[in-house]
Amino acid sequence: MTHHPSRRSFLTALAAGGASLARPRRAAAAPAEAPTVADVIEGVLSAIPGAPRRDTVDVVKAGDPSQRCAGVVTTFLATLDVLRKAKGLGANFVITHEPVFYNHKDETAWLAGDRVYEAKRRFIDEQGLVVWRAHDSWHARRPDPVLTGTLKALGWEGRGVAGADGVCEIPPTPVGALAASLKAKLGSHGVRFVGDPGMTCRRVGFSVGAAGGEAQIGSLRRTDVDVLVVGELHEWETSEYVRDSSAAGWPKAVVVLGHAASEEAGMRELAEWLRPRFPVLSVTHLPAGDAFTYV
């Protein structure tokens, strides 16, 4: 039977895993019947077998989760702009998929005195916001709702290949046309690909986010995958494997969407999942957008 920690130990664990907690001024009062922020977090984790994991990045990054929740915002990345918009909506709880403070574990000692870090942290504290990361736990649901959200955005929900997790079957399509279609449907400005643009593909593998070269190349080694769609890659790993594979006579392709474009829809999926479970709360998805300008 899955063990769920008590409320006190649960809050203690949340606080211990994140950046040091200040006692900020609370946001505008939530209705008396509203759940606490911790209740909402527990509602997510209780639906995931084995959560919370012992070694996880999914902890409260800032704020006091014992306060009542005035509204929820989900996002791929809690940028300062997203945090300001959340406050403008009257929300005091932001669920982010990726780190808040520029490194995977949100370690902040190295940022002490940095004016950018201090400005962001000060805004969170002064506005009474709570920021929690939902990465390991949200990916752990089956099927993975991050991938499910992306496939839904593409209109590919029914294209999964039985017994081949993360592989979809599509009508024969040139790689160049596939990349253009993905760009249009996901609203990405920076889609690129490696491989012959005229190569026909039928089986498309998905590796959203940044799984790393070994995992991405492992997917490309499969005989039932023609092209792999990824969020981001190291430019000396997967892309070079594809180039060498094609030169050796085994043509493959990889399409790079951009990390945000590959996972933002998965956090919209979280907002949709939360609404019926916490009907008293306003739950909004705010896209973080692409940080890059393309020339």
194 and 80 assigned to the same domain = no
More confident position, 49 or 75: 75
Q: CA-CA distance, 283 to 72, in Å (whole number)?
A: 5
More confident position, 137 or 9: 137
pLDDT digits (tens, 9 = 90+) for 172-221: 999 999 999 999 999 898 999 999 999 999 999 999 999 999 999 999 99
Q: CA-CA distance, 159 to 52, in Å (whole number)?
A: 32
Q: Which band of pLDDT confidence, cut at 50, 70 and 90, is reported for residue 145?
A: very high
159 and 128 assigned to the same domain = no
131 and 192 assigned to the same domain = no
* Within a domain: 269: no
179 and 90 assigned to the same domain = no
pLDDT digits (tens, 9 = 90+) for 25-48: 444 556 668 999 999 999 999 999
Tell me the CATH number at 71: 3.40.1390.30
Write down the pTM of the prediction. Answer: 0.88
pLDDT at 51: 84
Nearest Cα neighbor of 97 from 71, 116, 78 is: 78
- Domain span holding position 225: 145-260
Query: Does 11 score more than 90 pLDDT?
Result: no
Q: Which band of pLDDT confidence, cut at 50, 70 and 90, is reported for residue 3?
A: very low
CB 75 within 8 A of CB 287: yes
40 and 109 assigned to the same domain = yes
* Within a domain: 254: yes
* Within a domain: 68: yes
217 and 110 assigned to the same domain = no
In a 13 Å sphere around the CA of 295, the CA atoms on its Cβ side amount to 0
pLDDT at 27: 46
170 and 118 assigned to the same domain = no
pLDDT at 165: 85
CB-based burial of residue 143 (10 Å sphere; 0-12 exposed, 13-18 middle, 19+ buried)?
exposed
Q: What are phi and psi of 285, to 5 degrees?
A: -100, 130
Paired sense of beta strands 164-174 and 200-207, if any: antiparallel
134 and 238 assigned to the same domain = no
* Within a domain: 276: no
150 and 188 assigned to the same domain = yes
Q: How many domains does the chain have?
A: 2
* Within a domain: 215: yes
22 and 108 assigned to the same domain = yes
pLDDT digits (tens, 9 = 90+) for 219-249: 999 999 999 999 999 999 999 999 999 999 9
20 and 43 assigned to the same domain = yes
pLDDT digits (tens, 9 = 90+) for 85-141: 999 999 999 999 999 999 999 999 999 999 999 999 999 999 999 999 999 999 999
Q: What percent of the chain has pLDDT over 70?
A: 89
* Within a domain: 100: yes
Q: CA-CA distance, 94 to 37, in Å (whole number)?
A: 10
Question: What average pLDDT does the segment 261-279 reach?
Answer: 97
* Within a domain: 49: yes
Which residues, listed in sequence order, are joined to residue 96 by a DSSP beta bridge? 75, 133
pLDDT at 259: 96
CB 135 within 8 A of CB 104: no
pLDDT at 2: 36
* Within a domain: 96: yes
The DSSP element (H or E) to which 178 belongs, if any, is helix 175-186
Q: CA-CA distance, 98 to 78, in Å (whole number)?
A: 8
